[in-house]
Chain A
Amino acid sequence: EVQLVESGGGLVQPGRSLRLSCAASGFTFDYYAMHWVRQAPGKGLEWVSGISSNSDRLGYADSVKGRFTVSRDSAKNSLYLQMNSLRAEDTALYYCVKERGGTYPDAFDIWGQGTMVTVSS
């Protein structure tokens, strides 16, 4: 079964850092680009960041550029999101998402259940 399991969310003070992880299973992780998408409470979906299968292409939303860093580890079948200088507006459910095909870009066919990040003092 194809599965994405996020972890690392929690309550953090403004200005602090947090690292999200996503454990992938049930597919050949190395073949697919991966993304992070977030959803603030009661709001719509927002693309955060993406990384190609071999990490040569990275993308970031303007709202997180310079503060967030995406990475992946093929040995651990894992995707990461390092979030620095967190702001209240970063409060959201963060989804780990797999692309459908082997290219970047492509549609998002598998979504995790999300990990909640709350930025508050």
Chain B
Amino acid sequence: QSALTQPPSASGSPGQSVTISCTGTSSDVGGYKFVSWYQQHPGKAPKLMIYEVTKRPSGVPDRFSGSKSGNTASLTVSGLQAEDEADYYCTSYAGTNNVVFGGGTKLTVL
């Protein structure tokens, strides 16, 4: 069970787009559709933003989108807004009832 690899930080100016990557292996990200993304503001519980690679829960703005290619999943935030500044985490099913998280990416809106 190795953690998925995310860049420690990402940034963009209001209105711009930013993409956060999440790299795993064929045993987790590359092998299953169960990749999800979470947003966490300081002192708050995480919030589900994307599930099953590309799907958005009700209430999540369509500025947030997900994709996957091979062993790497990505979260793209378009039209950056100040409230998007937060930590973002990816997760994936890793087989045999196991789940693995990424190390997290701190998104800064400049």
Contact = CB atoms under 8 A, between A and B. Distances in A.
Nearest to B2: A62
A75 to B, nearest CB: 24
A62 B57 CA distance: 30
A108 B38 contact: yes
A50 B48 contact: no
Given A47-B91, A50-B97, A61-B98, A100 B46 contact: no
A109 B58 CA distance: 11
B57 A100 contact: yes
Chain B interface residue bracket vs A: 20 to 34
Nearest to B36: A107
Interface in A58-78: 58-62
Interface residues of A, number: 26
Interface stretch (B10-18, B73-81, B100-108): B100-108
Interface of A: 35, 37, 44-47, 50, 52, 57-62, 95, 100, 104-109, 111-114
Interface of B: 1, 3, 32, 34, 36, 38, 40, 45-48, 51-52, 57, 87, 89, 91, 93, 96-104
